[in-house]
Each structure stands twice: as structure tokens, then as C-alpha cells.
Amino acid sequence: MKLADVEESMSKSVEATQRAFNTIRTGRANPSLLDKVTVEYYGSPTPLKSLASISTPDASTIAIQPFDKGSLNLVEKAISMSDLGLTPNNDGTTIRLNIPPLTNDRRKELVKLASKYAEEGKVAIRNIRRDAVDSVRKQEKGGELSEDQAKDLQDDIQKLTDKYTAKVEELLSDKEKDIMTV
């Protein structure tokens, strides 16, 4: 059991939490809103960003231009069926999504969603800590580590846990500010 491995796992949990935050709408157009959208393309679910170029011509519009014009209706259908709550406008070559300004109630819902994602990230970090501490205890019982070494390792693991939990809290705080900014 190496501390570097534990730190890498915790870092990946923080990155996953950041990616989850990126899918939350903040009132401004952002291509990452479409990260979770998949299109049924030739019988297999394909990520939207693999099928189209996605851009933001202005702060309240996302433009989606499929590489294959034949997939335009499939992309439009996938966006309509997604949980984004946005209505696609198809002009024959490009799909435009107008991002409406968020209401205060919707902002509060999005803050709750961000909090849920943050809690999931913190739970993942705590699970990594638990597994690492269990590994240290097994090594101690097996005679590979002395009692002092095991105690020091557990302290280091707790410090890493605190560090990465604080990073998730910081990301949450930034995302809440971003959501609540009108």
C-alpha cells in the first residue's frame, strides 16, 4: 500500500466531482452541459461530442453542428429526450439551444444537485481512506509494519483525506457562487 496510490485515487475522485459539476447549468451557455448526452447512432449509443462540433456563439446559445448531416434529426431527438430541459431549434444544418435565464427556484435546485455531487465525491474519498487504512492494518497484523509505522501511515492517510475533502468543498463553494450569480 503506497501513499502515492491513495493520493492518486483521491485526486481522481476530485476530478470526477469536477466533471459532474460541469454538467450543471449555470445560466450561461457551456458546451460541457452536453457531456452526458448520447445519440443512438447506427444502433449504438455514441457521445454527442463524437458526432458534432459544439460551440457557444454567445452567452445564451449553444450551436451543435453534426459532422454527418444525416444524423441531425437523431441529435435533435437525443437532446429532446435528455434531462437538460432545453428545446433544440433545427435549421437544417445546425441545432441551436437557447439557454434561458435561471429562476431563483431553479438556482436553488441546482445548488442542491451540486451539493449532492460534492457529497458523492466526499464519500468516494472516505471509501478510499477506509480501504487504505484496512490495508495498513492487515500489513501490521501480518508483521510487515510496526505499530508506529502503521499509526504514522494512518495519520498520513487522514491528512490526505482532509486535503481532498477540502478541495471538494472548495469546488462546491465555487460552483454555488457560479450558480447563484445572476
Q: Where in the chain is the domain with CATH 1.10.132.20?
A: 3-21+103-180
User: What predicted TM-score, i.e. pTM, was given to this entire model?
Assistant: 0.73
Which fold would CATH assign to domain 3-21+103-180? Topoisomerase I; Chain A, domain 4 (1.10.132)
DSSP labels, 116-170: HHHHHHHHHHHHHHHHHHHHHHHHHHTTSS-HHHHHHHHHHHHHHHHHHHHHHHH
CB-based contact 28:60 (threshold 8 Å)? yes
Say how far apart CA 132 and CA 122 lie, in whole Å: 15
Q: Where in the chain is the domain with CATH 3.30.1360.40?
A: 28-98
**Domain 28-98 sits in CATH 3.30.1360.40:** yes
The residues pairing with 94 across neighbouring beta strands, listed in sequence order, are none
> What is residue 110's three-state secondary structure?
helix
What is the pLDDT tens value at each position of the chain, 182 positions in all? 688 899 999 999 999 999 888 888 777 778 888 888 888 888 889 898 888 999 988 888 899 999 988 888 888 888 888 877 788 898 888 999 888 888 888 888 889 999 999 999 999 999 999 999 999 999 999 989 899 999 999 999 999 999 999 999 999 999 999 888 86
CB-based contact 113:24 (threshold 8 Å)? yes
* Per-residue pLDDT at 182: 65
Alpha carbon of 79 to those of 40, 48, 55, 61: distances in Å? 11, 9, 15, 14
